[in-house]
Amino acid sequence: MLDFVNLISAWAIPVIVVFIPLYAAYRKVPVYESFVEGAKDGFDTAIRIIPTLVGMMVAISVFRASGAMDFVIGWLKPLCAALGIPSEVLPLALLRPITGAGSLAYTTDLIQQFGPDSMIGRIASTIQGSTDTTLYVITVYFGAVGIRKAAYALKVGLISDAVGFIASIVICYLVFG
């Protein structure tokens, strides 16, 4: 099973990077021109979302600096211990829906502390790859297109993050345990 996972891991990105432009060329899509047009649109969108992004970053900083994150983690540690979830990855479950940069920094710290081939390193890496920055996505992308009612998207996003967190732990124990 591990060899199969390593094979897919080694070839997935190169195959996608080669396949997409080849398929676009086959469909007679002007690949470079489409890329440049998309980059122009992306720049305009980036300018429009800067205020929303700044607001989100301030909210994240307040959450972490106020001690609210440490309070929530302390409250959840006994439950995680009872379920066999390594408490070291618990902050990642809370950070990942909020901030990509913060969760990546925390994942990097876990990998440096425990090693990339440790169970904690593997679980952290899998969580990082199988969950999303839900609050960031809703704030920035919904704000860019003017969507104001995002309650259902928020619920679905946070539920999918929780499922991704749990599935990451289960799959890592099944594949590497």
What are the pLDDT digits (tens) for 56-104? 778 777 877 898 878 888 898 898 889 889 989 998 998 899 888 888 8
CA-based nearest residue to 121, from 69, 73, 168? 168
> Tens digit of pLDDT for each residue in 125-164?
999 999 999 988 888 788 778 787 888 999 999 999 999 9
From residue 68, alpha-carbon distances to 59, 65, 142, 152 in Å are 12, 8, 26, 25
CA–CA distance, 118 with 120 (Å, rounded to integer): 5
**Structure-block tokens of residue 57:** 């970053």
Q: How wide is the angle at C-alpha 145 spanned by C-alphas 127 and 97, nearest 5°?
A: 15
Domain boundaries defined on the chain:
48-176
Confidence (pLDDT) at 68: 85
* Biggest distance spanned by C-alpha atoms of the chain: 58
